[in-house]
Amino acid sequence: STGFSTLLASVVLLRIGTSFFHPVGVSAITWTYAGKRLERALGFQSAFGNFGILIVFLAAAPLYLVLGWKSTFFGLGAVGFAVALITLVALGRTSAKRFSADEHGGDSPNDKPNPGRFGIPIFFIVAGFASGGSFALILNFANIFLESRNNLSTSEANLLVSVWIAAAFVGAIVSGASQKRFDRLALLSLYFFLPSVLIVLLVLVDNIGLVTLSLLLTGFTISGTYPLTQAELSDYLGREESKKGRSFGILFSAQTIGASVMGLVGGYLSEVLGLAHSFDVAVVSMLFAAGLTLLWKVRKPVSSLSSSGQVMSHEAKRSQLMPRISRNSSGESTGSSNISETL
């Protein structure tokens, strides 16, 4: 790039190219796994996305000093191209297991979820916006804030951010595996609430030990919201496999938009009110997402899968649907779909 316009165009194209990773990958995982194996697989998918960020974050600066910025970009691009080829070959040799209608809980028309005005319920839009935006906001502003407030060098601040990313790697794996021990939505609400408190602690306390601890827990919990939200959306969609690619695309679009909007708003808040206020929008969004998660838990529509991720039997599902079905004078069953656009 020789100017701002070409740089902007290259960034846009780069973002378009990388945007396929999450929705396509998660859709492939939901086609292949179900129940507890799905939750664990989603945790690993989110974790290794963070692992890639960590590797590039740690490797880019040394490569730049040794090879220059062009060689660094070309080298990382070559690695990405090689991974893409390996993935295509691997997927070509492996046929993803598609679950039958019986495994997903039957073929009742009431199993079909209501997509809502945005393609998926607004709960998932807000959850994606809050998690993606907060993650990007901390990734972009934490090192600058720590340099300014705690008088750290650039390398020391970047090291703390690297530790934060490493905690995110662990958080995604642990959260994916924890869903079989804890209620998923209660855990997701907690993982939205805790970062809002931890970010306030990060801003108000200048003790480097407490700052490091708050960064570790923030990375752990924010990253944990990814597999939890993805597993919940997969359960909501049930056996509607044809809609999963689009639905996960909408979810990750919300995360990307959240990253863009929060980054922009955080920059303006930093310029007008001070660097510490750049995190305000993350605190507000995470609190809102925590409350909305609890509301979704209370008013959650009946899905093809139980809230724990286990496949429901025909008898169990029929017993849940029965109270919602009434009969008219001719004996024909009438009644609204068990999926409502409540959120």
- Tokens 């509607």 map to which residue? 240
The pLDDT of residue 205: 87
Q: What is the mean pLDDT of residues 213-219?
A: 91
**pLDDT value, residue 17:** 67
Percent of the chain residues topping a pLDDT of 90: 19
Please state the rounded mean pLDDT for residues 74-84: 78
Round the average pLDDT of the chain to a whole number and report it: 74
The pLDDT tens digits of the residues spanning 98-110 come to 444 344 433 333 4
Residue 311 φ/ψ, nearest 5 degrees:
-70, 130
CA atoms 261, 256, 197, 167: torsion sign? negative
Question: Bigger pLDDT: 43 or 222?
Answer: 222
What is the reported pLDDT for 93? 55
- pLDDT category at 305 given cuts 50, 70, 90 is very low
pLDDT higher at 253 or 35: 253
pLDDT level of residue 309 (50, 70, 90 thresholds): very low
pTM above 0.75, yes or no: no
CA distance 33 to 296: 24
Is 303's pLDDT higher than 50?
no
pLDDT at 35: 63
Which one has a higher pLDDT value, 208 or 239? 208
Instruction: Give pLDDT, residue 70.
Output: 74
> Quick one: pLDDT at residue 59?
72
Residues whose CB falls within 8 Å of the CB of residue 306, separated by 6 or more in sequence, listed in order: 235, 312, 316
Stronger pLDDT, 44 or 62, i.e. the higher one: 62
Tell me the mean pLDDT in the region 204-218: 90
Q: Among 211-215, 255-259, 308-312, whose mean pLDDT is lowest?
A: 308-312
**Residues 223 and 175: beta-carbon distance below 8 Å:** yes
pLDDT at 315 over 50: no
Return the bridge partners of 100, or none.
Answer: none
Higher pLDDT, 72 or 196: 196
Q: What is the pLDDT of residue 307?
A: 40
What pLDDT, in 10s, does the model give residues 132-156?
999 889 988 888 898 888 888 888 8
What pLDDT sits at residue 19? 63
The token duo for 305 is 């899968």
